[in-house]
Amino acid sequence: MTPSGTRRDLVVGKLFARVGIVTGAITAVLCLTEVIVLVRLGNPHLMSFFVGAGWILLVGAVWTTFVVGVSAMVSSRYRALAVILGAYLLFSTDNGLWGAVVRPLIGLVFTGQFTTPQSAYTSNEIGPVWFQYIDGINPIVALRRVLQALQTATGSISSDMTLPLVVYSVFIVLIFAGGTAYVGYRRFKQTDLG
């Protein structure tokens, strides 16, 4: 008797199921929130809703894909949790190593000072081009740039965001999520389930 499904079917099914659950739950909460905004303010603010909802759904789908990929990569839940927490602590720009160590190291290499270039923090400027592309390797930064590009395109904010930087950020997000899922699938495929 042959098995009814392959390991690829298992990983893809788990990925679609988890992303579906997350995006479904997020969509329900966002729709309820928009109803509350409509009732309280009397104006639907549809453009802001679609930009915010689209970005939140993107973040949910990206992180869920990352988590499923890590889960397929490692042999236990505890290892998966450790890798996911480690990734968050590495990439967090507020509480993690990226903001405390990596950004200042990038600044040290290019400016000679162990600090993040100040123009990287301003809202209307995107900072030095060299810093933006190196800093954009971080998927959290890339996701924030996608939001900033969406807000700029709809006129919610004004920034110097360029099309090449937006495309680069989308590429980083796709590599982060898709690459992790692919590596997880390859590792799971080669694992002896005994």
Residue 2 pLDDT > 80, yes or no?
no
pTM higher than 0.85 for the full model?
Answer: no
Examine the pLDDT at 99 and tell me if it is beyond 80.
Answer: yes
CA 58 to chain centre: 7
Please give the pLDDT value at position 41: 84
- pLDDT, residue 108, reads 83
**The tokens of 48 are what?**
């802001």
Percent of the chain past pLDDT 90, that is, above it, reads: 42
Which of 73-77, 160-164, 171-175 has maximum average pLDDT?
171-175
* Inter-residue contact 19 to 66 (CB < 8 Å): no
Q: Which helix (H) or strand (E) holds 135?
A: helix 129-135
Averaged pLDDT of the chain: 85
- How sure is the predictor about 111, in pLDDT bands with cuts at 50, 70 and 90? confident
In the predicted model, what is the mean pLDDT of residues 176-187? 91
Give the span between the Cα atoms of 21 and 28, in whole angstroms. Answer: 11
Query: What DSSP state is assigned to residue 99?
Result: I
Q: Which residues contact 157 (CB under 8 A, 6 or more apart)?
A: 123, 148, 151
Q: Which of 192, 193, 188, 185 is nearest to 12 (CA)?
A: 185
| Rounded distance between C-alpha atoms, residue 25 and residue 37, angstroms | 18
Q: Positive or negative CA dihedral for 53, 54, 55, 61?
A: positive
d(CA 185, CA 194): 18
Q: What pLDDT was estimated at residue 140? A: 93
pLDDT band at 123 (very low <50, low <70, confident <90, very high): very low
* pLDDT above 60 for 160: yes
CA distance 34 to 75: 41
Locate 53 and state its tokens.
Answer: 């909802």
DSSP 8-state symbol, 102: I
Least confident of 46-50, 117-121, 171-175: 117-121
Average pLDDT over residues 101-108: 86
